Amino acid sequence: MAEKTIDLTLKVWRQESPDVEGHFDTFPAKGISTDMSFLEMLDVINNQLEKEGKEPIAFDHDCREGICGMCGSVVNGHAHGPQEATTLCQLHMRKFHTGQTIVIEPFRADAFPIVKDLVIDRGAFDRIIQAGGHITVRTGQAPEAHSVPVPKKKADTAMDSAACIGCGACVAACPNASASLFTAAKISQLCHLPQGHPERNRRVIAMVQQMDKEGFGSCSKRYECEAVCPKEIKVENITTMNREYLRALASSGE
């Protein structure tokens, strides 16, 4: 069976550096295989631009397997594109049709400054994790896996929260540019496990305060974050975070 191809028009955000005003450039994308991933399609366009002596489109990526969280962009108004529970690198061109115009731009948030074109700086997420998204354990010989019993429901809940890849789609989709879903997932992941209990209070206070310090907005429960999350992280995690935060404040007497 012959390979199916489509012809598209791309409108891509171009911005040379953080302190330069950006704009949209239009590129024809002809003969694009519907079996290509979205990033493979951008690779084809960049090859064409390089042959023409033009600057290729800068976009972030690493694993191309939907697990690193680096590839996110807004496609026709949707973070990671039109397919639910899918990262941009796993989105295939069969989701588009010939003659379509595709608008591609970076995630927009003050806490995610644009580095170049579609590349953003997600360092704010790293600093939230550094503030408390970890546990203190002795290094060396690994303990027996079953030495600390964990109820299955708690383990499943922790694993669901741990699926967050820190892509930032939740921030891009939120009208307030809130990082509550990301931060809540990292807090929930540890608060449900006994290994995370010793630093439970300090962790949630430090991470929430760092989130606010980074300039993210507050959560107004629009549920846009859950709708675009490629790993389907639930907003119930935000409820858990709020409960943990109030509990920690009460325990500390603040």
For the segment 34-77, what is each residue's pLDDT rounded down to a tens digit? 999 999 999 999 999 999 999 999 999 999 999 999 999 999 99
Say how far apart CA 140 and CA 147 lie, in whole Å. Answer: 16
- How much is the pTM? 0.94
Averaged over 65-93, what is the pLDDT? 97
pLDDT grade, residue 2 (50/70/90)? low
CATH architecture of 5-115: Roll (3.10)
Summarize pLDDT for 150-195 with one digit per residue, the tens.
999 999 999 999 999 999 999 999 999 999 999 999 999 999 999 9
Residue 119: strand pairing partners: 116
**All residues at 6 or more sequence positions from 66 whose CB lies less than 8 Å from its CB, including other chains:** 86, 87, 89, 90, 165, 230
Whether residue 253 has pLDDT greater than 80: no
Backbone angles phi, psi at 178, to 5 degrees: -85, 145
Averaged over 91-98, what is the pLDDT? 97
Q: How far is CA 131 from the centre of its chain?
A: 19
pLDDT-above-70 percentage for the chain: 98
Domain boundaries, the chain: 5-115, 123-252
Whether residue 146 has pLDDT greater than 90: no
Which CATH superfamily, name and number, covers 123-252?
Answer: Alpha-helical ferredoxin (1.10.1060.10)
Q: Looking at residue 254, what is its pLDDT?
A: 59
The SS3 call for residue 17 is coil
Summarize pLDDT for 184-223 with one digit per residue, the tens.
999 999 999 999 999 999 999 999 999 999 999 999 999 9
Q: Tell me how far CA of residue 243 lies from CA of 184, 236, 238, in angstroms.
A: 11, 11, 9
Helix axes 200-213, 180-191, angle to 10 degrees: 170
